[in-house]
Amino acid sequence: MTNIHATTTAAQTTAAQTARPPASPLHARIGAALTGAAIPADLLDLDAHDPLARKREEFTLPGGVVYLDGNSLGALPRAVPERLQQVAAQEWGDALIRSWSAGADRGRDWMNLPDRVAAKIAPLIGALPHEVAVTDTTGVNTFKVLAAALKLAPAERRVILTDAENFPTDLYVAQGLLDLLGGGYELRRVNPDALDGHLTADVAALLLTEVDYRTGRRLDMAAITAQARAAGVLTVWDLAHSAGAFPVDLRGAGADFAVGCGYKFLNGGPGAPSFLFVSERHLGNENAAPVAISGWMGHADPFEMDRAFTPAPGARRFVPGTPMVLSLSALDSALDVFADVDLHALRTKSLSLTDTFIRLMEPLCARFPLTLVTPQEHARRGSQVSYRHPQAREVMADLIGGGVIGDYRTPDILRFGFTPLYHSHADVARAVAGVQAALEARA
Ligand SMILES: *Cc1c(COP(=O)(O)O)cnc(C)c1O
């Protein structure tokens, strides 16, 4: 069976290679508009003075494409493949079990790799290294920190307040946890721009995503966190579209908990581990945030094989199991890209890129049924720009075929993510030329 299957697959692959159809005329037209776009002098000037322009060399990017989806899967940092090769061949293949520990005997200290990665993420989100843990997926980490928040809150507070339009996994995981807890618990969905009156005495935790995945609308984390704290409500921030996109200041805001993705703006690769943040306030000896999934790797001394769980100091207690060395190594290497990046310069450039995109798209909004849904106000914008279009799904398929890679989000959103580490203003002009060609072809 296996052989027949393998033969069929190989035959199909060969057929596909020899008979690959030429790019459709539409895709060729979009591609030509993109590669042939005239770049306005003011944009060339901005690129010439871009302090982050040198960072692009640290990424592998395909030719003939403007990749505007780093908010879904960050591009590949050049150093990562070599690191993965080394981890597989030497650390795993050669040193084998010795790699788990530190030491002269080829030890690579895999055991503490999650903590080293956490220390690289901490400055990007305004946290101390021991407040960050790197493990699991964002959804699983959301479950863990929500469970901790509900346990920390007084028993009469049994509501999780969240954005009615929050990312599905946040809603599903919160609901799943509350269903598990049973009686009296409730997920209450509200508009995060109108929280007044909702931070009531029955609310335990406020679960919000700072930057909306569809519209790119950014919330005022500092103001909302202060408002929640004043009302006795714990905050859980989802930083999926924040970490690595602009400076985040969790400690400055006084946040209690946060989660975020390793594979979006942190460029850690497909399925990269997620991170979670627990404020130092909840890591002390008294009133510590309880660890729902108290696995051995979160124990203070895993190899004591103690019968009872004693949490490790710091957020490491939330790393339940054996560190995912291969994916952690990719993320560890990817994060080195940020080592010499001024996050304020990153934010300035992100806003300049999104401002430019919005401005160049304006004439297209006048000619075609495109509606900007991303706030124009800088403070209320993340690092993406989105438009509604009645045929968004089809338009995005055309664009991707032609080399402008953004994405479509239900029901009618065209989403374009900007990554200041590897985009230039010229890329923005090229992308808009591609969008124009796609819309003209469809009209
Ligand atoms: C991408 C994203 C996630 C992803 O969750 P995973 O569990 O890592 O798949 C979670 N929350 C938000 C807001 C996201 O945009």
DSSP letters, 158-200, are -EEEEETT--HHHHHHHHHHHHHH-TT-EEEEE-TT--TTTS-
Q: Which amino acid is at 339?
A: A
CB 135 within 8 A of CB 121: no
Of the residues 167, 275, 277, 418, which is catalytic? 167
C-alpha of residue 261 to centroid of ligand 1, in Å: 6
Q: Looking at ligand 1, which atom is closest to the CA of residue 274?
A: 8
pLDDT at 208: 98
Maximum Cα interatomic distance, the chain, rounded to a whole number of Å: 69
Show the tokens assigned to 104.
Answer: 């002269």
DSSP 362-377: HHHHHHSS-EE-S-SS
Separation CA 210–CA 232 (nearest Å): 20
Tracing tokens 């997926």 back to the chain, one arrives at: 137
Beta bridge partners of 60: 76
DSSP 331-342: HHHHHGGGTT--
Q: Looking at ligand 1, which atom is closest to the CA of residue 241?
A: 15
DSSP label at residue 56: G
User: Buried b vs exposed e over 111-129: b needs ≥16 C-beta within 10 Å?
Assistant: bbbbbebbbbbbbbbbbbb
CB 239 within 8 A of CB 269: no
- Which residues are part of a known binding site for pyridoxal 5'-phosphate? 138, 167-170, 209, 238, 241, 263, 296, 322
Q: Which one of 167, 248, 409 would you pick to mutate in the ligand 1 pocket, going by the greatest count of ligand atoms within 8 A of its CB?
A: 167
Query: Coil, strand, or helix at residue 322?
Result: coil
Q: Looking at ligand 1, which atom is closest to the CA of residue 261?
A: 8
Domains along the chain? 20-78+342-442 (3.90.1150.10), 109-338 (3.40.640.10)
The answer for residues whose C-beta is within 8 angstroms of residue 199's C-beta and 6 or more apart is 161, 206, 227, 228, 231, 233
The CB of 255 under 6 Å from ligand 1? The reply is: no
Query: Coil, strand, or helix at residue 120?
Result: helix
Centroid of chain to Cα 442:
32
Q: Is 96 left (phi over 0), alpha (psi -120 to 50) or beta?
A: left
CB 441 within 8 A of CB 26: yes
Q: Which amino acid is at 67?
A: Y
Beta bridge partners of 331: none
Neighbours of 54 (CB within 10 A): 9
Show the tokens assigned to 42.
Answer: 């003011």
Centroid of chain to Cα 419:
12
The CB of 163 under 6 Å from ligand 1? The reply is: no
CB 272 within 8 A of CB 247: no
Q: Which one of 210, 219, 261, 276 would you pick to mutate in the ligand 1 pocket, going by the greatest count of ligand atoms within 8 A of its CB?
A: 261
Q: For residue 78, what is the enclosing H or E element?
A: none
pLDDT at 17: 43
Which mean pLDDT values do the consecutive 10-residue runs of the chain (443 residues) have?
41 44 86 96 98 98 96 98 97 95 86 97 98 98 98 97 98 98 94 96 98 98 98 98 98 98 98 98 90 96 94 97 98 98 98 98 98 98 98 98 96 98 98 98 90
C-alpha of residue 209 to centroid of ligand 1, in Å: 10
The CB of 238 under 6 Å from ligand 1? The reply is: yes
Separation CA 209–CA 122 (nearest Å): 18
Show the tokens assigned to 196.
Answer: 């007044």
Show the tokens assigned to 312.
Answer: 């490790």
Q: Looking at ligand 1, which atom is closest to the CA of residue 140?
A: 7
CB 31 within 8 A of CB 403: yes
Separation CA 210–CA 219 (nearest Å): 5
pLDDT at 104: 76
DSSP label at residue 381: B
pLDDT at 21: 58
- Rounded to the nearest 5°, which phi and psi values hold at 235? -110, 140
On the question of a cis peptide bond just before residue 114, with omega within 30 degrees of 0, the verdict is: no
Q: Is 4 left (phi over 0), alpha (psi -120 to 50) or beta?
A: alpha
Separation CA 84–CA 77 (nearest Å): 12
pLDDT at 20: 53
The CB of 266 under 6 Å from ligand 1? The reply is: no
Q: How many distinct helices (H) and strands (E) make up the chain? A: 13, 17
**Vertex 24: Cα angle to 22 and 29 (nearest 5):** 115
Separation CA 298–CA 402 (nearest Å): 47
Of 205, 229, 221, 206, the closest CA to residue 152 belongs to: 205
The CB of 295 under 6 Å from ligand 1? The reply is: no
Beta bridge partners of 88: none
The answer for residues whose C-beta is within 8 angstroms of residue 220's C-beta and 6 or more apart is 379, 380
CB 278 within 8 A of CB 289: yes
Record the pTM: 0.94
